[in-house]
Amino acid sequence: MKKLLLSLILLGSLNSFAQGSCAAAINITTNGTIVAPAVTGTFSNSCYTHTTTDGGGAINGIWYKYTPAANGEITIDANLPVNIAPNSVDTKVSIFTGDCFALTCYDVNDDNATNFLSTITFPVVGGTTYYIQWDNFWDGNGFEFTFNYTANTCIKPYYINAVTNLTTTSATLNWDASVSAPSGYEVEYGLTGFTQGTGTVATTSTNSIALSGLNASVIYDYYIRSVCSVSSQSAWSAVNNLVLAKVCPYASGFDTTAQLQGWTTAGNGAYGLGTTAANAQSPTQYWIMNTNTATTSNNWLFSPPFNLQAGEQVTVSFWVRCASARSLRLTVGNLNSTAAQTTQIWANTALLATTYAQQTAPAWTAPTAGIYYFAFNDISAATAAAATLRIDTTNFTSVLGTNDFLSSKFSVFPNPVNNVINFSNDQNAIVSTVELADLNGRVIKTEKVNATEGQVSVSDLATGMYMMKITTDQGVAVKKIVKQ
């Protein structure tokens, strides 16, 4: 985010300045603190797509490089007191491999978790040259950073990839192979917030592992480490989150860690979590999207994944507040990426709500069973000063469409029933839930299943007729049963 520019060029312990192009990059030869000059050199945008600074000026870069003698890890850190007070610096760094004629983006960092200064640690291969570019997208004045290389023969996985084969109770975890080329990996996982050492440990010989039989629609934490030999393991990776697919109904007001997990973002402007309780619809937190001052906004807020059935009709409602007219739309797609959000459900190109107002999108019907993500997309025009839009208290509800073919493939017995009713099917459809409702539509009992067959006790139900709704990965079947 945009911060005040430096007013002074900072002094530090090393008195060499980076050159203004990749070809003339300063060669770092030792660990220590480096003084970076004003950012006035040539910029390479293979890590970022920017062509101008945040303020619309020319974008520039300054360059360093380092070639480690052996495999290891490098930490670059601009989060130093000298960059905070009395000045306020906003840095951004890109790491490249290859050569200056064909650079390949390797890693990037804009802001760390606490301020607008960059901190990055990445694994390196001995003999490979790594190019370091600082740019002036936010800030073009000089600053200081520390450089530290540590040799390591067994390096943890650093880059976690998207989860695949996601359902409400299973998923495949994926990551880039460690540069140490280990013989295998260990994955420790447990419900979010678990203490490491108390979780379940699974092993794999590849950089991927399938987990199944998980608690439905909850959040897990997991850690990964390399196993280089019987006696050599790497440190554990940072914690990662596995957000299993949700089912409707689902609600989030962005007020707790659990409500925030699974939501992801992308965009070209300022956006993030608002924590001023007086500005929330309910109770304390909300999502902010600010207009861009240089160009049209294109900011995205993606929902957690939803496991929807074919024909399931989903209605999304949310509360919004904006003091000036905005252009906002709601989309849906099969991934939480801008390219995958191909279906627009709702849009308002002149949205204005000086106090919170609830918006309800038209019901959208899932064409096939699978995983879907919804997204809020702010595409408001540029404004002279940043204007704020707030989103709060999102609700996702649905009506399940029934599948007559699937219903015909389910057997429920005995029927009439006294105590326990069994169900099975010849389509290998995995049942997630079974609901029993009276003829007025009131749900009397719900059972979670996660199997192709099972049974439900009905001994506690009153005598009469009930509708048995069986939700599966292939759709919804409905059977009529009689309790004696």
Q: What b/e readout covers 444-461, taking b as 16+ CB neighbours within 10 angstroms?
A: eeeeebbebebbbebeeb
Whole-number pLDDT of residue 399: 83
Q: What b/e readout covers 396-406, taking b as 16+ CB neighbours within 10 angstroms?
A: bebebeebeeb
pLDDT at 4 exceeding the cut of 50: no
Closest by Cα among 170, 243, 176, 241 to 210? 170
Which class would CATH give 404-483?
A: mainly beta
Q: Give the mean pLDDT of 275-303.
A: 94
Question: Which CATH fold would you assign to the domain 26-151?
Answer: Jelly Rolls (2.60.120)
Q: How confident is the model at residue 3 (pLDDT cuts 50, 70, 90)?
A: very low
Same topology, domains 26-151 and 250-399? Answer is: yes
Whole-number pLDDT of residue 407: 86
Whole-number pLDDT of residue 227: 99
Which is it for the CA torsion 297, 303, 304, 308, positive or negative?
A: negative
Query: In CATH, which of 3.90.1010.20, 2.60.120.200, 2.60.120.510, 3.30.750.210 is domain 250-399?
Result: 2.60.120.200
Q: Give the mean pLDDT of 429-448.
A: 86
Whole-number pLDDT of residue 404: 75
A 10 A CB-CB count for 265 gives 15
Whole-number pLDDT of residue 6: 30
Whole-number pLDDT of residue 401: 72
Question: Which CATH fold would you assign to the domain 160-243?
Answer: Immunoglobulin-like (2.60.40)
The 10s digit of each residue's pLDDT in 205-224 is 999 999 998 988 899 999 99
Whole-number pLDDT of residue 113: 62
Q: Average the pLDDT over each of 111-115, 189-193, 253-257, 432-436 and give the range with the smallest value.
A: 111-115
Q: How confident is the model at residue 273 (pLDDT cuts 50, 70, 90)?
A: very high
Q: Average the pLDDT over each of 82-91, 288-297, 348-357 and give the range with the smallest value.
A: 82-91
Q: Give the mean pLDDT of 88-116.
A: 92
The position carrying tokens 């009395």 is 86
What is the C-alpha separation between 361 and 340, in angstroms, rounded?
A: 20
Domain boundaries, the chain: 26-151, 160-243, 250-399, 404-483
The 10s digit of each residue's pLDDT in 34-52 is 999 999 999 998 898 788 8
The 10s digit of each residue's pLDDT in 305-345 is 999 888 889 999 999 999 999 999 999 999 999 999 999 99
pLDDT at 9 exceeding the cut of 80: no
pLDDT at 394 exceeding the cut of 50: yes
| Mean residue pLDDT across the chain | 91
**Of the spans 115-119, 306-310, 344-348, which averages the highest pLDDT?**
344-348
Cβ–Cβ < 8 Å for 331, 347: no
Size (the chain), residues? 484
Whole-number pLDDT of residue 235: 98
- What residues contact residue 450 under an 8 Å CB cut-off, 6+ apart? 169, 213, 216, 430, 431, 432
What is the C-alpha separation between 185 and 123, in angstroms, rounded?
A: 17
Q: What percent of the chain has pLDDT over 90?
A: 74
What is the C-alpha separation between 443 and 297, in angstroms, rounded?
A: 45
